[in-house]
Amino acid sequence: MVKKITDKIVNYCEEKGIATRETLKIFFAVCVIYIFSIAALQVRDYALEWAFSLMALGGLANLYVISFNGHKMPVPVAARTVGAMRKKFPKRGVCQLTKNTKLAWLSDKYLIRYWKEKVFYASIGDFAVTFGVVLMFTRPLMHH
């Protein structure tokens, strides 16, 4: 029952151009992380508060750039590559990073290389979320 209701809400948002499924997932995650950050503040665990705050800010940064660019994350690749990315990852909204991109400094514009020839693009928001997760899991080590 809950799934039917959420699917109707998501479909409505997509049909009206309000948000995409991906954007709504990020929004929901940011809301949950924000609630946890308030809980961390209540228990006076400041390292945990910083971790959740970084994750929430990173998620919001990604939401902003996606929202301001037609519900798609800009990446600095050729138009042909964007087409290939859309075929490989049909649920991930991407567009080409151009001089007309809004909030370009928040887009997936940093190339990360790993394991031989594998690459991906990351944003400032991605870095903030990652650093927040690392801080959350290394927090117990700081208390000893």
Cβ-contact 124, 105 below 8 angstroms:
yes
- pTM comes to 0.76
8 A C-beta contact, residue 33 and residue 59: yes
Of the candidates 143, 88, 142, 98, which has an alpha carbon nearest to the alpha carbon of residue 120?
88
Give all strands (DSSP E) within 2-84, no chain letters: 73-75
For the segment 58-109, what is each residue's pLDDT rounded down to a tens digit?
999 999 999 899 888 898 888 888 888 888 877 778 888 999 999 999 999 9
Q: Per-residue pLDDT averaged across 11-40, rounded? A: 81
pLDDT confidence of residue 100: 93
Q: Which residue has the higher pLDDT, 20 or 143?
A: 20
pLDDT score for 143? 59
The 10 Å Cβ neighbour count of residue 10 is 16
Domain boundaries, the chain: 2-142
* pLDDT, averaged across the chain: 84
- Do the beta carbons of residue 76 and residue 109 sit within 8 Å? yes
140 or 105, higher pLDDT: 105
Mean pLDDT of 131-135: 91
- Residue 38: band (very low, low, confident or very high) from pLDDT cuts 50, 70, 90: confident
